[in-house]
């Protein structure tokens, strides 16, 4: 269940006041107004909430409880949009698709407060109607009031029992409504995960759980003790991870000056696995390549490891603004090279790099915890459209590595068409001849539940990481 882009803002005409007095539109509270504005940007401009919300909070000088409430309303509403749309569809007198997007945003904000927070019902309805008066006008505020009073008549469990199809009749449809994922995403994740109902329900629930902020201590640039002293705790899997239970990571000096970064443990693990994989042949190592380096998280970690080994890293990124982010991640004093270029059009000498990472553009279905709106924005056809680019990038990576060198193919998606199918297809071509698929599990020491291999698939519900996929391929020689 998805929505079209917003169709414009609404009537703000002043309502009549008492004779001799100027009518003043009620002013919504700051948190709900901020949440509404972010949802509008997400709907109208395809913005990502995790990118625009922090700046909006800073601009409006919102901190503490107001900032926390705005954050919860934005991310919670986006995560549960599918569920709320199904419920609202029973509470309005027209098809849900005919409701103006700004009105639907206000209704979803109200539904989230009523069904998924501890805000008392009367306060949730009252505050949301005040928001509606301020941003939509009095007439639509009355409509919002009437709809939310219908929503408030039941709790979430009772609504789900009414609006979700029975599991035995339609398993994917049931899970889609209950866990607020598009049906095609449920089907794709279930196909990738395998198994029965328990596993897929745990995965979908994990997608609806806000992830912890995880930091990476870039080797040689900062120690874990410095991050612990700033309030972080040890990570679960990565020896370089530190988890920040609360607070703004940007307030930590090591993060501000680039010695540490915000990076999911899954991304840390796949980068470290590439660095740990044994090379073939008698030659040492001197050159690494990051083929799709933006925005720079893995490049920053690989660059730090490369510096410790006295190895050079070439980081390639197709877009200028993302190349700047890569330079920031590597550090201003880095001797590693960042080039704006197309990884499918090699400008380097073939077969000279010891280690190559191809962290290819993908659907991002493995990071739905961090970008909840992505599940509504992506379409099944996106997978097919990305496939040729993913195959070209992997082919380019294989051509760049020397005999005995190792290539890491990485995606932040568990979708089969973006993971094993790509590797299988490329290995079956001439470009893949002379490569051996390594058991990648051996290079994630201590990490459990990695399946049958040889490739690695991490999962939010099993590992607490993004659903990163890793294949390691070594060129014979």
| 3-class DSSP state of 357 | strand
Under DSSP, the state recorded for 94 is S
Which residue out of 91, 292, 362, 412 is catalytically annotated? 412
Cis-peptide into 163, omega within 30 deg: no
In angstroms, the CA 422 to CA 360 distance is 11
- In this structure, what token pair is assigned to residue 291? 């083929």
Count CB-CB contacts under 10 A for residue 83: 27
In angstroms, the CA 384 to CA 377 distance is 15
- Clarify whether 412 is annotated catalytic: yes
Q: Are 53 and 38 in contact (CB under 8 A)?
A: yes
Cis-peptide into 260, omega within 30 deg: no
Query: 48 vs 3, 58, 68, 196, CA distance in Å?
Result: 15, 16, 18, 32
Contacts with 264 (C-beta within 8 Å, 6 or more apart), sequence order: 211, 214, 367, 370, 465, 466, 468
E strands, 266-310, where? Answer: 287-290
- In this structure, what token pair is assigned to residue 476? 């014979």
Query: 235 vs 406, 458, 461, CA distance in Å?
Result: 27, 15, 16
Contacts with 60 (C-beta within 8 Å, 6 or more apart), sequence order: 30, 34
Under DSSP, the state recorded for 314 is E
In angstroms, the CA 270 to CA 470 distance is 6
Query: 378 vs 83, 101, 102, 381, 420, CA distance in Å?
Result: 17, 18, 21, 8, 20
Task: Identify the residue whose tokens are 């949009």.
Answer: 81
Active site members: 412
């Amino acid at each position: 269940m998805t929505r079209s882009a917003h169709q414009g803002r609404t009537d703000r005409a002043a309502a009549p006041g008492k004779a001799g007095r100027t009518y003043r539109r009620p002013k919504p509270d700051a948190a709900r107004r901020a949440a509404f504005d972010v949802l509008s940007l997400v709907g109208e401009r395809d913005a990502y909430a995790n990118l625009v919300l922090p700046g909006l909070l800073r601009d409006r000088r919102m901190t503490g409880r107001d900032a926390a409430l705005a954050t919860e309303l934005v991310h919670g509403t986006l995560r549960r949009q599918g569920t709320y749309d199904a419920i609202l569809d029973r509470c309005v007198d027209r098809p849900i698709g005919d409701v103006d997007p700004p009105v639907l945003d206000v209704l979803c904000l109200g539904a989230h407060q009523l069904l998924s927070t501890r805000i008392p019902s009367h306060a949730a309805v009252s505050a949301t109607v005040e928001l509606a008066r301020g941003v939509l006008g009095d007439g639509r505020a009355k409509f919002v009031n009437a709809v939310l009073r219908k929503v408030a008549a039941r709790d979430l469990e009772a609504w789900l029992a009414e609006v979700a199809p029975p599991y035995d009749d339609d398993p994917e449809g049931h899970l889609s409504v209950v866990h607020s994922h598009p049906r095609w995403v449920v089907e794709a994740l279930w196909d990738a995960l395998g198994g029965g109902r328990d596993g897929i329900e745990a995965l979908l629930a994990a997608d609806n759980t806000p992830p912890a902020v995880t930091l990476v201590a870039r080797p040689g640039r900062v120690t874990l003790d410095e991050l612990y002293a700033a309030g972080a705790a040890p990570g679960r899997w990565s020896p370089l991870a530190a988890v920040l239970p609360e607070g703004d990571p940007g307030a930590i000096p090591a993060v501000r000056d680039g010695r540490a970064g915000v990076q999911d443990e899954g991304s840390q693990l796949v980068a470290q696995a590439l660095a740990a994989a044994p090379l073939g042949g008698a030659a040492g190592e001197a050159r690494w390549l990051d083929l799709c380096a933006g925005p720079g998280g893995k490049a920053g970690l690989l660059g730090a490891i490369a510096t410790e080994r006295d190895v050079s890293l070439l980081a390639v990124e197709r877009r200028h603004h993302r190349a700047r982010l890569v330079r920031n991640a590597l550090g201003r004093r880095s001797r590693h090279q960042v080039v704006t270029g197309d990884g499918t059009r090699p400008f380097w000498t073939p077969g000279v790099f010891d280690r190559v990472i191809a962290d290819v553009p993908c659907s991002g279905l493995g990071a739905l915890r961090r970008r909840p709106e992505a599940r509504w924005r992506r379409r099944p056809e996106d997978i097919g459209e990305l496939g040729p680019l993913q195959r070209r990038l992997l082919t380019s990576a294989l051509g760049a590595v020397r005999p005995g060198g190792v290539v890491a193919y990485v995606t932040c998606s568990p979708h089969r068409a973006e993971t094993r199918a790509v590797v299988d297809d490329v290995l079956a071509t001439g470009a893949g001849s002379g490569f051996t698929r390594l058991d990648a599990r051996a290079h994630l020491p201590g990490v459990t539940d990695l399946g049958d291999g040889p490739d690695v698939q991490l999962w939010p519900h099993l590992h607490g990481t993004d659903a990163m996929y890793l294949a390691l391929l070594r060129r014979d020689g």
